Structure 1
Amino acid sequence: MKTMQYSPPPGGSGDSVWPPPPTTPDIAPTLRPFVSLLPLARAVAALGVFDFIGALGIKLLHGHAIQSISAISSTLVAGLVLGLICVSYLAYRIIFLRWTFLAYRNLDSFEAAGLETTAAWAVGWFFVPVVNLYRPFMVFHELWKAGTPGVDSRDEVAWQRVPSSPLIGWWWSSVILHVFFLRMLDKVLTNGLTTVASTVLFLILAAVSVALSIAVVTTISRRQEAKAREQAQSFPTYL
């Protein structure tokens, strides 16, 4: 039986391997897929309305509005109402934070450059004392600017030059007023106001805060949807 002998390539040494082993092609890192935020935005809107109704319910219970019912029935009704209020209160905030996380992570699918935080910290800043007075405000500015349709998010200078919306400032101001001013109101100003006036002011601020939150979430969601469609048309492989 005839055996085949190894012949090195011309000009090569006998120690080299021939044919050369196959090489693994470099694979470009895949981008995070875009996640549509519109379903979550609708959930935030619905739960925001329930949250406001819950705030109204708490004021009614606090003011002993349910007085014509027997003591046992009143206790049962109050317990049921408070339970529903607590559920809507927690659900609204959980869904809002979930929306914030996904909205910021969507900036990765746009290859946004120069972001100042991560999706996890976009949520985490809400729970850091003192920092939570301004950092979430900055996060939402980035969501607005880096998710602008028609602007290349990979160009940090380009999206940083995009003017932010006054809607972000109005929303954050309403949040600060609703959370902090109302606590001060309960301790300082209530003595000079009637219960009705205090309740009306509380409900007005709560309604404005919820309405602006819904407007911000819905608007940013639609902007990201438009940008994702624009990106899919220009770079089909991204999505």
Structure 2
Amino acid sequence: MENAAYNEIVTWYDQYIQENPFYSDMLLPSLLECTGDVQGQHVCDLACGQGWFARMLANRGARVTGIDYAEGQLARAREYKEPEGIVYLHDDAQEARSLPDHTFDGCVCILALMDIPDHRAVFHTARRVLKAGGWLVFAIMHPCFEAPEAGWIANEQGKPARVISRYTREGFWKSTSGGVRSRVGAYHRTLSSYTNALIDARFALTRMLEPRAGDRRLKQVPGNQEIPSLLIVRAVAME
């Protein structure tokens, strides 16, 4: 099942998304670039949380169905009355039994694969519910640079540098530096694990983005000038 620890941080998480430039300045522009024109499309938001990106898609003309395992997050999503027409369902993205096969033009899974024990199952869910040729966009914290025990240091020139350890050892961990991952933890996986699982689920990778940080984000994390924290992938369902 998905990480139901999000039920414990509903109010905090909603405010965190609204106030943190990580979402508005760095994540959102790249997501919109990868999803493209969604006018008239039926899009599934897997592990939609409090509906932040579901609302962005609906505002751009998509019909959106969002599912999440954390009922508290769904309750908060439903409190947002605009835009109309979003359907929220209580379901597990690893199985999504409430979703019919071959129904959606697109799927998104935004910063949620790290919360879910079986990322392979989520990719297979997306492939099952998508129409032939449908698209999938997912965003994750960059597994190469946001590994457990990774941290910022100053190099010999005094510039920020990233020290990485425990990259190849996959599994659940919790951050000690604050933010979402200090509250709910995450499943760390290598880049190859994500890529191979995507291929095994019969997706063809068509685009990858490693978003650059804007000025507000750089004030928080100067190292993001040269080292990305995010990875965004677009793929297409193969026959």
TM-score (norm 2): 0.21
TM superposition score normalised by structure 1: 0.21
Instruction: Identify the structure with the greater helix proportion.
Output: 1
Structure number with higher strand proportion: 2
Structure with greater Cα Rg: 1
Q: Which has the higher relative contact order, 1 or 2, with Cα contacts under 8 A spaced 6 or more apart?
A: 1
